[in-house]
């Protein structure tokens, strides 16, 4: 054991000498390993951070949640021209399905509409994401209320002019003052603030409840009717706990087909997307990003490996006389082999550590600059270290073998 510790110490000394005595050559050779490790760990850290952010944003919503509408969130087998002829879902259909689908825990009618400007006295908030929805949306989305309450069934059905504000909107309009019972203006009408949501942070797709204003959907329906180009209605369905999502989807499909009078053999004129399908698509994309990142970074690691091998072959050449003396004094081939192999690993580790430090520094800088948390996880560090060791072993094995097989007499003679 002591022999190997001594061997490691000597290898570290030789590696540091290679760094200090031939700075430019060593720098250029280690650059490939540094860039390769940096590229792979940067990709892994970015993808992991992206994956974590998406899962965090979707954590408040049940993965079995369904979205019933006339358009599709993702790719569809139905031709686009046909989908454009689908009718919008209606409030009457929402009320019918609420009673007709017992396997649904909650069902909400929501309208996608354009952003608005909210005013309070001389202050205003622009580009507010207005979310007109029935009261069940609070159950489906699991909204966390920081102050006040969410509107109830009676206020939802009657379309009362009440509003629940996102954190940023409340801060912009009221600062540190309480927003409750304040009167704001929107759509040319006065709304009473009854609640403020907890701070959420920037969403993965640019969306965030922090910049939202949630109002009873029937207020907008009463004001503009049900058929307007700037209003796109959807029905959100949350199945009961333990219910099979596909079975619930089939039940909703059959009930709506009957309600719309769609005959057997005819294609539905509506689309139901399950959130789990969307998350599976995201996972697939993230997996592909990982593969592409590994392929691209692999070329950098290959170049880095050649650089380490080059250093080691030169090192063997420069120390041929020393190797001969070591062998003449009784050093075994294994000792020489491990000496150069450890040196290659140490050099590669130095390049890998520099690459990981670069990722760490950039991740901290980006996290402070933008509202996105880049995380360099423990497993990413383990992967980076493991790759550096592997590259060192791979690129150092041939030079180490060639050094261990040198004839001591010839080695000493060549150095004279």
Residue that wins the pLDDT comparison between 53 and 365: 365
pLDDT for residue 94 is more than 90? yes
pLDDT digits (tens, 9 = 90+) for 374-403: 777 778 788 888 888 888 888 878 877 777
pLDDT at residue 1, rounded to an integer: 61
Residue that wins the pLDDT comparison between 259 and 81: 259
Helix, strand or coil for residue 95? helix
Mean pLDDT along residues 136-151 = 90
CA atoms of 199 and 218, how far apart (whole Å): 26
pLDDT for residue 152 is more than 90? yes
Pick the range with the lowest mean pLDDT from 1-15, 160-174, 184-198.
1-15
Residue that wins the pLDDT comparison between 293 and 346: 346
Q: How many CB atoms lie within 10 A of CB 142?
A: 11
Residue that wins the pLDDT comparison between 218 and 85: 218
- Residue percentage of the chain with pLDDT more than 90: 25
pLDDT at residue 389, rounded to an integer: 82
pLDDT for residue 292 is more than 80? no
pLDDT digits (tens, 9 = 90+) for 106-127: 899 999 999 899 999 889 999 8
pLDDT for residue 162 is more than 90? yes
pLDDT at residue 197, rounded to an integer: 92
DSSP-derived secondary structure for 318-362:
HTHHHHHHHHHTT--HHHHHHHHHHHHHHHHHHHHHHHHHHHHHH
pLDDT for residue 369 is more than 90? no
Q: What is the mean pLDDT of the chain?
A: 80
Pick the range with the lowest mean pLDDT from 15-24, 127-136, 194-203, 293-302.
15-24
pLDDT at residue 206, rounded to an integer: 47
- Residue percentage of the chain with pLDDT more than 70: 82
pLDDT for residue 11 is more than 50? yes
DSSP-derived secondary structure for 216-244:
EHHHHHHHH-S--TTEEEEEEEEEPTT--
Mean pLDDT along residues 397-410 = 75
pLDDT for residue 205 is more than 50? no
CA atoms of 211 and 125, how far apart (whole Å): 9
pLDDT at residue 289, rounded to an integer: 72
pLDDT for residue 59 is more than 70? no
CA atoms of 216 and 38, how far apart (whole Å): 50
Query: pLDDT band at residue 204, thresholds of 50, 70 and 90?
Result: very low
Residue that wins the pLDDT comparison between 312 and 238: 238
Pick the range with the lowest mean pLDDT from 158-162, 240-244, 253-257, 314-318.
314-318
CA dihedral angle for residue 54, residue 239, residue 249, residue 283, rounded to 10 degrees: 20
Mean pLDDT along residues 346-354 = 82
Q: Which range, 16-25, 80-89, 126-135, is most confident?
A: 126-135
- Distances 159 to 191, 219, 367 between C-alpha atoms, Å: 11, 4, 41
Angle at 343 between CA 342 and CA 346, to 5 degrees: 85
């Amino acid at each position: 054991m002591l022999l190997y510790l001594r061997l490691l110490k000597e290898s570290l000394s030789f590696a540091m000498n290679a760094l200090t005595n031939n700075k430019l050559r060593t720098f250029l050779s280690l650059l490939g390993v540094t860039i390769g490790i940096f590229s792979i760990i940067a990709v892994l850290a970015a993808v992991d951070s992206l994956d974590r952010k998406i899962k965090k944003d979707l954590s408040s919503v049940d993965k079995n949640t369904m979205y019933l509408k006339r358009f599709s969130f993702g790719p569809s087998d139905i031709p686009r021209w046909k989908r454009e002829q689908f009718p919008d879902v209606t409030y009457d259909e929402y009320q019918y399905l609420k009673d007709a689908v017992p396997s649904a825990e909650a069902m909400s009618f929501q309208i996608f509409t354009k952003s608005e400007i909210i005013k309070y006295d001389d202050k205003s908030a622009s580009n507010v994401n207005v979310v007109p929805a029935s009261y069940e949306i609070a159950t489906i989305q699991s909204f966390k209320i920081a102050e006040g309450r969410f509107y109830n069934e009676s206020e939802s059905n009657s379309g009362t002019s009440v509003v629940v504000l996102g954190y940023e909107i409340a801060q912009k309009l009221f600062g540190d003052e309480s927003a409750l019972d304040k009167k704001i203006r929107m759509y040319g009408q006065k709304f009473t603030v009854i609640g403020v949501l907890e701070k959420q942070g920037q969403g993965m797709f640019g969306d965030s409840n922090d910049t939202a204003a949630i109002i009873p959907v029937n207020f907008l329906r009463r004001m503009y009717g049900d058929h307007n180009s700037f209003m796109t209605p959807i029905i959100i369905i949350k199945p009961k706990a333990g219910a099979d999502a596909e079975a619930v989807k089939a039940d909703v499909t059959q009930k709506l087909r009957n309600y719309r009078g769609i005959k057997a053999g005819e294609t539905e004129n509506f689309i139901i997307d399950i959130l789990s399908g969307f998350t599976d698509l995201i996972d697939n994309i993230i997996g592909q990003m990982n593969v592409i990142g590994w392929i691209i970074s692999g070329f950098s690691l290959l170049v880095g490996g050649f650089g380490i091998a080059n250093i080691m072959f030169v090192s063997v050449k420069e120390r041929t006389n020393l190797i001969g003396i070591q062998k003449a004094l009784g050093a075994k081939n294994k000792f020489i082999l491990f000496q150069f192999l450890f040196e290659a690993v140490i050099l590669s580790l130095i390049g890998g550590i520099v690459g990981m430090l670069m990722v760490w520094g950039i991740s901290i800088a980006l996290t402070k600059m933008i509202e996105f948390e880049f995380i360099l996880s423990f497993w990413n560090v383990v992967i980076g270290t493991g790759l550096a060791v592997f590259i060192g072993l791979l690129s150092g094995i041939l030079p180490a073998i060639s050094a261990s097989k040198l004839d001591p007499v010839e080695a000493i003679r060549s150095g004279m």
